[in-house]
């Protein structure tokens, strides 16, 4: 009798990707070709997305013959956590090294009832979609060294898996045993696609990752709990409007006139405000939902009283609320955060027009420090603060 467990691993096809780039449908096709019963697909998915294992050997209820086939067909990568900043009860930043040595970051933000109205054990995770960014907004750390590459779908989804795995390890070290969290009680229940990179410039991989994150067989995070932030890629916003899911959209506006946007966001020369506005109106029409306008307050650039009216007009047209975010200074760049009183004056003036707006003062700079700053500090240590930090704040 032939014992297939002894069979050598089949040659992995040269283009074989990571198994977490697959959907339930493509996995089921492969399992059918292998004459494996369909329930094995669900067992596999349980290991990947509920138990979040990162080795074939850990999948103990799959026959070793099947594990060999899987290992021969796909890789099962993980992101290496090289640095973590922040304490358990505050915003925590994670720096990941990818297999090619590139680094990206994610930021875990505990639920703040004032911002999100959620229970205290819930978290929002801000994830990256590219290594670097090609869009070169003048104030942003992510674009400083240009664009390096797109993240694969599994590298996007892997940031959530990696953080949940890290959290489970921490909890176990603290005496808890939450290795297996049912879907309904995940650590991460809100996603903001606002880390490094321009998500809509990595559209296909982003959609594949979000579908895995959203799917009941994947991580079960509701589409309404996922916000995609873009600097304004008008044609991609229109494309997103045609997708079946109700993802939320945030526009990084930062200026309500072409004069201001042209000064700080090169993307505005390609897709000026009129084109961006039309695309947002199309999104609104298709999805029936308002988007959010993100507006960094930059001292002397976009924070004068004269900027309030065009911003209010645009927000009203788009039925959008406005998030005002005092700029988080980036070392080496000339831009400054306005005085708190000036931020408040701007917010008050905008509220007076009837537009809904928030001004993130407390923790604001923490929450919005996602964009490439930790990577910058690690890759260019001489340019900023030293790497040595108290061990309680640094992993490893
Ligand atoms: N590329 C996308 C998503 C990543 S940037 C976009 O631009 O929307 C996420 C948000 O962080 C954007 O609104 C961006 O403008 C903002 N941001 C970048 N650098 C910042 C800084 N130093 N302080 C505050 N917000 C910043
Ligand atoms: Fe890229 Fe967004 Fe940073 Fe602009 S703000 S450089 S689009 S990551």
| pLDDT at 142 exceeding the cut of 60 | yes
Per-residue model confidence (pLDDT) at position 89: 72
* Tens digits of residue pLDDT in 208-252: 999 999 999 999 999 999 999 999 999 999 999 999 999 999 999
Per-residue model confidence (pLDDT) at position 360: 82
Per-residue model confidence (pLDDT) at position 13: 55
Per-residue model confidence (pLDDT) at position 372: 55
Catalytic status, residue 371: yes
Question: Mean pLDDT score of the chain, rounded to an integer?
Answer: 86
Ligand 1 neighbours, Cβ below 6 Å, are 137, 139-140, 194, 198, 229-231, 252, 294, 296, 325, 327-328, 330, 368, 371
3-state helix, strand, coil in the chain (%, to 5): 40, 15, 45
Q: How far is the CA of 350 from the centre of ligand 2 (A)?
A: 25
The CA distance from 337 to 299, in Å, is 5
Say which of 105, 155, 164, 294 is annotated catalytic: 105
Contacting residues for 99 by C-beta, under 8 A, at least 6 apart: 77
- The residue written with tokens 């297939």 in the block is 4
Q: And the tokens for 349?
A: 């003036």
Q: Which alpha helices (DSSP H) does the chain contain, by range?
A: 24-33, 39-45, 64-73, 113-116, 153-173, 203-214, 234-241, 258-264, 267-270, 273-287, 308-318, 340-352, 364-367, 373-379
Q: Are strands 248-252 and 292-297 parallel, antiparallel or unpaired?
A: parallel
| pLDDT at 281 exceeding the cut of 70 | yes
Q: How far is the CA of 252 from the centre of ligand 1 (A)?
A: 7
Per-residue model confidence (pLDDT) at position 30: 98
Per-residue model confidence (pLDDT) at position 375: 63
| pLDDT at 35 exceeding the cut of 70 | yes
Per-residue model confidence (pLDDT) at position 232: 98
- 340 CB burial (10 A radius; 0-12, 13-18, 19+): exposed
Domains, the chain, in order of start with CATH, read 25-73 (1.10.150.530), 80-378 (3.20.20.70)
Place 369 in a pLDDT band, splitting at 50, 70 and 90: low
Place 4 in a pLDDT band, splitting at 50, 70 and 90: very low
Task: Quote the radius of gyration of the chain (alpha carbons, Å).
Answer: 22
The CA distance from 20 to 209, in Å, is 9
More confident residue, 384 or 205: 205
* Tens digits of residue pLDDT in 282-292: 999 999 987 89
């Amino acid at each position: 009798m032939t014992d297939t467990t002894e069979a050598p691993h089949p040659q992995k096809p040269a283009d074989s990707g990571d198994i977490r780039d697959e959907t339930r449908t493509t996995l089921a096709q492969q399992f059918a070709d292998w004459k494996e019963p369909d329930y094995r697909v669900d067992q596999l998915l349980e290991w990947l997305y509920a138990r979040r294992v990162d080795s074939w050997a850990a999948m103990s209820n799959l026959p070793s013959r099947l594990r060999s086939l899987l290992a021969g067909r796909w890789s099962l990568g993980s992101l290496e956590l090289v640095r973590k900043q922040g304490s358990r009860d505050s915003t925590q930043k994670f720096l990941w090294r990818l297999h090619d040595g590139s680094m990206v970051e994610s930021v875990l933000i505990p639920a703040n009832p004032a911002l999100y109205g959620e229970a205290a054990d819930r978290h929002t995770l801000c994830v990256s979609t590219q290594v670097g960014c090609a869009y070169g907004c003048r104030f942003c750390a992510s674009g400083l060294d240009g664009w390096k590459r797109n993240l694969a779908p599994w590298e996007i989804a892997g940031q959530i898996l990696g953080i949940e795995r890290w959290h489970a390890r921490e909890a176990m070290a603290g005496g808890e045993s939450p290795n297996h969290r049912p879907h309904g009680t995940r650590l991460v229940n809100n996603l903001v696609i606002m880390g490094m990179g321009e998500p809509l410039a990595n559209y296909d991989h982003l959609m594949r990752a979000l579908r895995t994150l959203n799917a009941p067989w994947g991580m079960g995070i509701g589409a309404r709990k996922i916000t995609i932030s873009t600097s304004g890629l008008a044609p991609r916003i229109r494309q997103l409007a045609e997708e079946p899911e109700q993802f939320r959209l945030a526009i990084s506006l930062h200026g309500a006139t072409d004069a201001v946007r042209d000064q700080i966001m090169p993307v505005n020369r390609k897709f000026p405000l009129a084109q961006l506005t039309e695309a947002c109106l199309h999104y609104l029409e298709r999805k029936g939902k308002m988007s959010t306008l993100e507006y960094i307050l930059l001292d002397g650039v976009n924070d004068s009283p004269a900027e309030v009216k065009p911003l209010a007009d645009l927000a009203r047209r788009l039925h959008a609320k406005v998030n005002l975010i005092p700029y988080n200074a980036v070392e080496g760049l000339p831009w400054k955060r306005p005085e708190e009183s000036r931020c408040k004056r701007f917010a008050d003036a905008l509220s007076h027009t009837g537009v809904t707006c928030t001004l993130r003062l407390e923790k604001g700079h923490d929450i919005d420090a996602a964009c490439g700053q930790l990577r910058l500090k690690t890759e260019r240590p001489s340019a900023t603060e030293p790497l040595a930090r108290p061990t309680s704040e640094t992993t490893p």
